[in-house]
Structure 1
Amino acid sequence: MDLPYVFLAAVFVYCLPCGEGLKCFKCEECNRPGAKNETCEVDGGYCVSIIVRDKEKNKDGSIISGKTIDVISRRCRTKEDGFLNGKPLFCEIGADMKYKHNVRCCRTDYCNAVLPELMTDPDEITEEESDKGSEHMWIAFIVSLLAVICVAAIIILAFLCYKKKPRPYTPPPDQNVDTNPLMGSQPSSLKELYDFSLSGSGSGLPLLVQRTIARQIRLMEIIGKGRYGEVWRGNWRGENVAVKIFHSREERSWFREAEIYQTVMLRHENILGFIAADNKDNGTWTQLWLITDYYENSSLFDYLNRTTVTAVGMVTLAHSSACGMAHLHMEILGAQGKPAIAHRDLKSKNILVKNDGTCCIADLGLAVRHDTKLDKVDILPTDRVGTKRYMAPELLDETLNMEHFESFKRADVYAFGLVLWEIARRSSVGGIFEEYQLPYYDMVPSDPSLEDMRRVVCVEKQRPAIPNRWQNVEALRVMARLMKECWYANAAARLTALRIRKTLAALLEQEDIKRV
């Protein structure tokens, strides 16, 4: 390589004359392959070592892009070489140039073996440094991304855990817990609990009293199972209570039923008596308890399977059930009034038989209330629907108006007509009665699908058969007429719960029925 030695005049320094015969190393581009290393001798001069940062070249002389090499040269210089136009040049290089080239002058034998140093170019970044910087940048990016993902995962898991954790039961807003006189004393009997509920707002017991009762109950035996969970007979201070234990996945049904039971002024002799609701954690899972009155006769379905009834017993069962439905459907106006409620799952299994032969309506998990101010139905989104066998035609063909509360009441009346048919079949007159069967037992399978019921009820327009013997007995004839008027395909033509109750009440007062 031909070095531009013209610039050397700017880097030589003025040195004092050396002794005679100063010996120095001499070579051009000493670190290039094939360079010749020699010595030189100069009188009254100095030894010089030079380093120049230059572009690296291939063997053919072509420049290698992006690569540099420090080229080293050693020389002998006389005193005269250190002057330019009679002015001495000093062996100093400006700081801003020392990253390109540098010079060292000395005056002892072979002293130019020592090289001057080149400074690092502040504006130049080597390829290796660039790669390291890029690598560090990627590492930082990946670490940051992983940190964000971990934080997001923790937040999501915490949210899911919170959602799965059962919410503590909250009493209705009208519940006055602080001023409740029972808060300072423990109730000693169920009668005392009922007396207090009836003397207050009629919306149930205070939350803390409910929890106290729930923790004092001993479970005795299981008396039933359903899709929601299990029903147990429990014991509280020597008295029997029913404990409905919901599956943890049925929390919404538990909360909804407890909420409906605590509606203001809902308590009625023909509505199952509500005692308490509580969630109990046994360390492994959470149990959702709903505590109500206990009746050893169990449901109307079980009762009719076991025994027949007299004409008076038939009308009593029907009338008391109608009273419960009428109370649900009725709106009570006032500052602490009761909204109208539709049951939405009326059937013989959801009606209980009391010890005196009357009935009360239970299982309000699917019930809906009517807000008269907004004219809205507070129906909740749920996968549960009513029992298919008891569904009204408008429910089966999906023509029911969900925004119109009267539609739900009329669907209840249709289902109640089927319950009347079940009761009437077990009425024994002159020792004649029918065996117990579910409605449409001879038309659909034991576990009918919606399509089965739609075909029979909506397409074929069939209804349960009325035995001929019913026309010969006044009580059964009235019952047959009532149930037919509950079954109309046109929902608006069906009887109201109040009309059914009054008709059955009048039938119960007749002297003839008592002699049957």
Structure 2
Amino acid sequence: MLLLPGQNEMLDVCGGRDFLSDRRASEGYIVVVKSSCCYCSGEELRAGPRRLLRVHVFHFILKCFHGIKDDVYRQDPRRKEHVCHLADFCTRLVHRQECVATEESPQVFFCCCEGNYCNEKFTHLPEAVPPAVKIQPPQPGPSLLGVLVYSLLPFGILCLALVLGCWTYHQRKPPYRHVDIGQGAGLPPPSPLVGLKPLQLLELKARGRFGCVWKAQLLSEYVAVKIFPIQDKQSWQNERDIYLTEGFKHENILHYISAEKRGTNLQMELWLVTEFHERGSLTDYLKGNPLSWPQLCHISASMSRGLAYLHEDLPYRAEGPKPAIAHRDFKSKNVLLKMDLTAVIADFGLAVCFEPGKPPGDTHGQVGTWRYMAPEVLEGAINFQRDAFLRIDMYALGLVLWELVSRCTASDGPVGEYQLPFEEEVGQHPSLEDLQDVVVHKKMRPVFKDCWIKHPGLGQLCETIEECWDHDAEARLSAGCVEERISTISKTTNTINTSTSECLVSMMTSDSDTDLPPKESST
């Protein structure tokens, strides 16, 4: 169709010819395309009241196009511009008879169609766009401190509750009641004295390898309570069995009262109740007190007497036979002193009993305190016979006697501070290797001072000590022999001292009689 200037009708020329020739630039045209006629508009003409369009001819246009500028269309929707473009611009839309704009750019609405004058009418139909999904920003994760607080807070509350529960339980539970062990057949019941009233622990006196010792009160008497933890049950049971050995009773052996179990389950403790001695151990006494010669003799004799009784095999006695017993941990710490300085032997946790016809108990060789171990024990060359174990005790007795001599005031020399055996050579905390080197390889022993040897009593006692700690175990004295020697030395020395004193008194009297002038008469 052809629109001429100043005319209203359109001349249908589509399909008659391939295309129109170029005309004047000021005239409006209908572009005739080979297969379609499209409506196009050019620049506005101002000649006359009607607007004429300048139409340009584009060759080879196969599709029609309609474009609207966004700013023009929004101000006046009736104002439109029809623009023609080459066909390759609209190749993506085919087989559409209406010019419908479904896409838009920020400034242009456009559509493509095919068919005569299909682009004259323009429709804007935006494609359905799915609603925008609002992406929430990721929530910040919990901080490490917060995680730790929330994780540990319940655990802390639980621990606090357990502590409070245990404290409340201990505060409210009744005092220990006596419980008889009764695990073995033939075990005699505990002393009836113990069951009359609960024990009251008063003061912690000492701690040892297998437990601690408390001063306690039972009725109106003081007693000693040795408390073993449950893991040291073997030591507690062994000591209890030694005390319960038939006929095992002597004035120089610690008096046994009872063995008891206190508490239950994990809180169970094993108690051993014995008589209490206020002076404590020989070690503690020697640290703070020097000894006179009579005190030295009394302690030495009673200590040797107790060890001799322990070693003796007494098959024929009215109170029953007593087998030989080796202490195996004899030292000054395990010797207690009564108020009159009489010695009593204690702590039988490692002791072994040699009953005729029965094998001994645990005879593991290297037991006891390293400082007091005999050379054969240190080098692990023990003959597991009764006499061999008794001789090991005698070596230790020699060291304890040396401790007594070192604190005696009988000699002319000064009395030094208390020292343990070999403390000068290996210090207070020697290793097993240190003692092996000093005692076994170098065959060293604690030193005797010259002033001790010059004293008549101390000199003889030093000779006895040397025979107790002889390197050859079979050459050592027995406990009974040591007891006799000390008794003899004590008597002899007392006689010498008495004779010396009488001579001194006689000399002083004679000098007085000679030097004093005779009494003058009154005349």
Q: Would you call these one fold, judging by a TM-score over 0.5?
A: yes
Which residue of structure 1 lines up, in the alignment, with residue 464 of structure 2?
A: 482
CA distance in 2, matches of 1:398, 1:496: 22
CA contact (8 A) 2:413 2:451 kept: no
Q: How many residues align?
A: 317
Alignment partner of 1:243 out of 219, 225, 233: 225
Alignment partner of 1:378 out of 338, 350, 361: 361
Which residue of structure 2 lines up, in the alignment, with residue 445 of structure 1?
A: 427
Note the alpha carbon deviations across 1:272-330, whole angstroms, 9 max, x for none. Answer: 11111100116760111001111111000000001001001001111110011000000
Aligned-pair distance for 1:381? Answer: 6.2
Aligned-pair distance for 1:513? Answer: 6.7
Task: Give the match's secondary structure for 1:377.
Answer: coil
Task: Map residues 358-373 of structure 1 onto 2, 5 A cutoff.
Answer: 358-373=342-357
CA distance in 2, matches of 1:171, 1:282: 15
Note the alpha carbon deviations across 1:120-162, whole angstroms, 9 max, x for none. Answer: xxxxxxxxxxxxxxxxxxxxxxxxxxxxxxxxxxxxxxxxxxx
Aligned-pair distance for 1:388? Answer: 0.1
Q: Which runs of 5+ in 2 are unaligned?
A: 1-178, 502-523
Look up the equivalent residue of 2:216 and give its one-letter code: G
Task: Give the match's secondary structure for 1:413.
Answer: helix
Note the alpha carbon deviations across 1:241-268, whole angstroms, 9 max, x for none. Answer: 0001111111111111011111111111
The answer to whether structure 1 residue 351 and structure 2 residue 339 are counterparts is: no
The answer to whether structure 1 residue 209 and structure 2 residue 192 are counterparts is: yes
Look up the equivalent residue of 1:352 and give its one-letter code: L
CA contact (8 A) 1:217 1:236 kept: yes
Look up the equivalent residue of 1:343 and give its one-letter code: H
Which residue of structure 1 lines up, in the alignment, with residue 407 of structure 2?
A: 426
Task: Give the match's secondary structure for 1:297.
Answer: coil
Aligned-pair distance for 1:233? Answer: 0.5
Which residue of structure 2 lines up, in the alignment, with residue 136 of structure 1?
A: none
Look up the equivalent residue of 1:323 and give its one-letter code: R
Which residue of structure 2 lines up, in the alignment, with residue 227 of structure 1?
A: 209
Task: Give the match's secondary structure for 1:442.
Answer: helix
Q: CA RMSD in A?
A: 2.3
Q: Which moved more, 1:504-513 or 1:246-255?
A: 504-513
Alignment partner of 2:279 out of 297, 300, 309: 297
Task: Give the match's secondary structure for 1:313.
Answer: helix
CA contact (8 A) 1:312 1:513 kept: no
CA distance in 1, matches of 2:382, 2:247: 28
Task: Map residues 242-261 of structure 1 onto 2, 5 A cutoff.
Answer: 242-261=224-243
CA distance in 2, matches of 1:262, 1:397: 33
**How high is the TM-score relative to the length of structure 2?**
0.58
CA distance in 1, matches of 2:190, 2:251: 23
- Seen in structure 2, the aligned counterparts of structure 1 residues 172 and 421 have a Cα distance that, compared at 3 Å, is farther
CA contact (8 A) 1:171 1:207 kept: no
Task: Give the match's secondary structure for 1:246.
Answer: strand
Which residue of structure 2 lines up, in the alignment, with residue 169 of structure 1?
A: 181
CA distance in 2, matches of 1:208, 1:294: 16
Which residue of structure 2 lines up, in the alignment, with residue 35 of structure 1?
A: none
CA distance in 1, matches of 2:329, 2:425: 21
Aligned-pair distance for 1:211? Answer: 5.5
CA contact (8 A) 1:470 1:476 kept: yes
Task: Map residues 383-402 of structure 1 onto 2, 5 A cutoff.
Answer: 385-402=367-384
CA distance in 2, matches of 1:508, 1:174: 45
The answer to whether structure 1 residue 415 and structure 2 residue 396 are counterparts is: yes
Look up the equivalent residue of 1:348 and give its one-letter code: S
Task: Give the match's secondary structure for 1:337.
Answer: coil
Task: Give the match's secondary structure for 1:231.
Answer: strand
- Seen in structure 2, the aligned counterparts of structure 1 residues 331 and 344 have a Cα distance that, compared at 3 Å, is same
Which has more radius of gyration? Answer: 2
CA contact (8 A) 2:180 2:190 kept: no
CA contact (8 A) 1:271 1:362 kept: yes
CA contact (8 A) 1:308 1:428 kept: yes
Note the alpha carbon deviations across 1:7-36, whole angstroms, 9 max, x for none. Answer: xxxxxxxxxxxxxxxxxxxxxxxxxxxxxx
CA distance in 2, matches of 1:323, 1:245: 28
Aligned-pair distance for 1:512? Answer: 3.6
Q: Which has the higher contact order (CA 8 A, sep 6+)?
A: 1
Q: Which runs of 5+ in 1 are unaligned?
A: 1-166, 178-205
- Seen in structure 2, the aligned counterparts of structure 1 residues 237 and 466 have a Cα distance that, compared at 3 Å, is same
Task: Map residues 503-514 of structure 1 onto 2, 5 A cutoff.
Answer: 503-510=485-492, 511-512=494-495
The answer to whether structure 1 residue 471 and structure 2 residue 483 are counterparts is: no
Task: Give the match's secondary structure for 2:485.
Answer: helix
* Larger strand percent: 1
CA contact (8 A) 2:201 2:216 kept: yes
Task: Give the match's secondary structure for 2:213.
Answer: strand
CA contact (8 A) 2:191 2:258 kept: no
- Seen in structure 2, the aligned counterparts of structure 1 residues 357 and 211 have a Cα distance that, compared at 3 Å, is closer
